[in-house]
Structure 1
Amino acid sequence: MRLGGRMAAAAEIVADMDARRRPVADALKDWGLSHRFAGSGDRAAIGNLVYDVLRRRRSIAWRIGSNAPADLVIGAVLAEPSGSVERLAVALDGDRFAPALPDRQILDAFLNRDLDEAPDAIRADLPDWLAPRFADAFGADWIGEAQALAARPPLDMRVNTLLAEPEAVERELAPFEAHRSPLAPAGLRIDPIEGDRRHPNVQVEAGFQKGHFEIQDEGSQLVALLAGAGEGQRVLDYCAGAGGKTLALGAAMRNTGEIHAFDADRTRLAPIHDRLRRAGLANVEVHAPRDDLSPLAGTMDLVLVDAPCTGTGTWRRRPDAKWRLSEGTVAKRMSEQDGVLDRAAAFVRPGGRFVFVTCSLLPEENRDRVAAFLAKHPAFRVEDARALWRDALPGAPERYRTEKLGDGRGLLLSPGRTGTDGFFFAAMQRQGGG
């Protein structure tokens, strides 16, 4: 397919999403099934265009003066570093599948329009109602932080140090230009793709099949490391999901002690079994949703709660979620978080650590949930996460935002400041006697 056909396909997919309010992955899959003539390169390029529109929809619409899917796709192409009206016109010349270009003055205006003159929420590529939340979370940096969420993400991996060394896996993945992560000691990164390229499917590599590495955002690796799981400990990963952090905890514990992996959603938990086998972890017991966990109450050295949340920190990878999110969904997630924290706290032994993690950047899902928990559970005290960072990552730059929580401090990782997905981290210690 030529560029014009790819642009028309991307516009068709965006229009389908608008009409049916469906996730981008579903819309792309359905388009591919009904257009089997499109090769893998075409599908990758079309997907890039769709994702670029979704990441920067408001700013593109403001610059081109239209919210029509075809115009948004045209704007996304022009917004590329090499974008120009002349180059686009040449590429589309004679392509009967190409969308019709707006008048030349509209295209020139798009390239010359200064985004700094737009309203703040448009500059940030956010719905209006979310702008105050980001301002609360990041202060004066909030627009830049939101703009970083609208960039293409890297492909991050965690080397399983039980089976391999980071240097060896880096050499194995050298053809893909993988390099060591900026912060996570066992992390590797392939930089964000450009143009119509796509990230390599590293899951077909021998190292992945042998359990030498897993795909995991560097921010997720960092919060698992900050949790401080030690050899011989008893650990409960209360919202284990597919097991990414469970695997990281198991490697940190050197396959000693015991990890209990639980999730209330059986479907989310299903992939963990194959991942554990591939990683060579023998110290993990997986608990199904209906299992009785009462024998574990009050006995865990560490309980990690990666709580259900809106996922605002993952918008680089799931930009469609930005436009489907509602205030009602935020309120629902807050209630779910309160319930999960209340239930999980019962498993922490006196003197043990209770870690609360979200992949959200919204203060009401992070700071406010810790405050609500502390009001109900006075036996817990917030630790200083800055000290945990320095212990876990000696000499590493402290590229995070910190906020006072009770007697301690939590951390907020973000694409703009940390170069990772957005994550909130707070560690609490249960005092003796309750």
Structure 2
Amino acid sequence: MTPAARLSAAIELIETIDSNRVPAAGALKEWGTAHRFAGSGDRAAIAGLVWDVLRRRASSAWIMGEDSARARLLGMLKLERGLNADAIAALCDGSRFAPSPLSAAERNALSSNTLDGAPAHIAGDYPEWLDPHLAQVFGENRVLEAAAMASRAPLDLRVNTLKAKREKVQASTAHLGTTPTKWSPNGLRIDISADARNPGIQAEEAFIKGQIEVQDEGSQLAALLSAAKPGEQVIDLCAGAGGKTLALAAMMQGKGRLIATDSDKRQLAPIHERLSRAGVHNCDVRTPKGEGEILSDIKASADLVMIDAPCSGTGTWRRNPDAKWRIRPGALEVRLKTQAEVLDRASHLVKPGGRIVYVTCSVLDAENGEQIRGFLARHPGFSIIPPAEVTAALWDKADDFAAATLRSAEGLLMTPRRTGTDGFYVSVLRKG
């Protein structure tokens, strides 16, 4: 397919997503199935266009003065891809499979219009109802923070230290363009261009041997900040597919007791194979059955309870830009209730002197600091370990990392703009 034909396909897909109100990932998959002639490179390029339009949905419509699929794609080409009006016009020449030529109004908008004077939620590309929430956290910097959350995310890998060292894995994956992550001592990063396909990590020898896992650097750091130690009893209370479980297991060096569970047993399905590949032998996976408490034998005896809490996912907008336009206030209220419940559950599992590590991939204070303040009001026997103490001496870049984060009395927040990671919040609590 020609570059112009890819633009036409992207416009068609965006119209389908708008009219049918379907998730972008599903629409892209159906389109690929129905258009077998499109090669993998074409499908990747078209997907990149669609995701970039979703990243810049509001701002692209603003500069074009029109909220249509075509207008948003044209605006995105200017804002995200950096093309000028002449370059865009060359792609939209009306030839076979190409978009129709630019109108005078479109060319004028591409040549003259800017985001000067645009409201914060337009310039930052997020739903208007979230503006008070982002203003509460970032103030006047919310547009800059949100714009960074609308950027394209790299692909991060975590080296499994149970099986390999980072230097060795970087050498064996050099053909993928891996470089050491800025903060995580166990991370590797692959920067991906707009039209490129994600590399087939699962086909790599290092992956097959259990030496690497795909995990955002921020998620790696959240696990690192738990300070899990060999010999401890550690519970991953919202383990899901096991990303942080695997990181905790590596920190424990195969010594101690690690328990992984999740209220949604479907989320746990991949964890068994991942643990086996990673060479983890001290993890007990507990799948919920019926209404019984599957941790009834844990009576205030855990050294560490990790809560990777279900949340709005606002910190992961770089990877899932579709999600920010689909989130609704009612869904946030449901998440807040679940977070409070899981925090209360963890309070009964941790022993005196033990700690709870509360993590979200959200940047909203309602899910972060407010949850911690509410928990402390309900459980005065707990106290906050200051963020400076949490990061101190964990690794050689801890001080610089702490300075890069947005810190509060309750915890610290990573963001794409500040730390180059997804948005992650971490608070560590100690039981008195």
TM-score range, shorter chain: over 0.9
In the alignment, does 2:431 pair up with 1:430?
yes
Provide closer, same or farther for how the CA distance between residues 60 and 198 of structure 1 changes in structure 2, counting only shifts above 3 A. Answer: same
Per the alignment, residue 174 of structure 1 pairs with 174
Partner Cα distance (1:349, 1:101) in 2: 68
Aligned to 1:243: 242
Q: Which residue of 1 aligns with 2:130?
A: 130
Which residue number in structure 2 is paired with residue 420 of structure 1?
421
The amino acid across from 1:236 in the alignment is: I
Distance 2:299 2:122 in 1: 48
Deviations 1:381-419 (A, max 9, x none): 0111222112213344121000113xxxx0011101010
Per-residue CA distance 1:59-94 (angstroms, 9 max, x = gap): 000011111112211222233445122223333446
1:249 maps to a residue whose letter is L
Residue 336 (structure 1) aligned to one of 335, 338, 342: 338
Aligned equivalent of 1:364: 366
Question: Retained in 2: the 8 A contact 1:311–1:360?
Answer: yes
Structure 2 counterpart of 1:200, one-letter code: P
Find the counterpart in structure 2 of residue 9 from structure 1. 9
| 2:150 counterpart SS class | coil
Structure 2: distance between partners of 1:81 and 1:324: 24
Q: CA deviation at 1:95?
A: 3.0
Aligned residue in 2 for 1:404: 409
1:107 shift after superposition: 2.5
Q: Taking structure 1 as reference, are residues 80 and 338 closer, same or farther at Cα in structure 2, changes over 3 Å only? A: closer
Distance in 2 between the 1:225 and 1:101 partners?
A: 53
- Report what 2:64 is aligned to: 64
For residues 23-102 of structure 1, the aligned pairs below 5 Å read 23-93=23-93, 95-102=95-102
SS across alignment from 2:284: strand
| 2:318 maps to 1:316 | yes
Question: Structure 1 311/248 Cα, relative in aligned 2: closer, same or farther at 3 Å?
Answer: same
Identity %: 47
TM-score of the superposed pair, with normalisation by structure 1: 0.95
Distance in structure 1 (CA, Å) of the matches to 2:18 and 2:407: 37
Any idea what the Cα deviations from partners look like across 1:171-226, whole Å, max 9, x if unmatched?
A: 111112110000000000012x2231223122210000100000000000001000
**How many Å apart are 1:115 and its aligned residue?**
1.3
Residue 82 and residue 312 in structure 1: after superposition, are their counterparts in 2 closer, same or farther (change >3 A)? closer
Per the TM alignment, residue 16 of structure 1 is displaced from its structure 2 partner at its CA by: 1.6
Matching residue's letter, 2:21: R
Q: What residue is the counterpart of 1:354 in the other structure?
A: 356
Greater Cα shift, 378-387 or 311-320 = 378-387
Helix, strand or coil at the partner of 2:392: helix
Letter in 1 for 2:170: E
Within the alignment, does 1:388 sit opposite 2:376 as a pair? no
Partners of 2:287 and 2:350 in 1: CA distance: 20
Per-residue deviation, 1:113: 2.1
Mapped partners of 1:310, 1:296: distance in 2 = 29
- Shift in alpha-carbon separation, 1:426–1:229, aligned structure 2, 3 A: same
Find the counterpart in structure 2 of residue 373 from structure 1: 375
- Give the whole-Å Cα distance in 1 for the aligned partners of 2:110 and 2:88: 13
Structure 1: runs of 5+ lacking an equivalent:
none
TM-score calculated relative to the size of structure 2: 0.96
The alpha-carbon deviation at position 111 of structure 1 amounts to: 4.0
* SS in structure 2 of the partner of residue 296 of structure 1: coil
2-side partners of 1:210 and 1:289: how far apart?
Answer: 30
* d(CA) in 2 for partners of 1:246, 1:194: 30
Q: CA RMSD in A?
A: 1.4
Given that 2:84 and 2:110 are in contact with CA atoms closer than 8 Å, whether structure 1 keeps it comes out as no
SS of equivalent residue, structure 2 residue 202:
helix
Q: Deviations over 1:112-143 (max 9, x none)?
A: 32213211111111111111111111123211
Amino acid at match of 2:114: D
The size of the alignment, in residue pairs, is 426
Paired residue type of 1:238: L
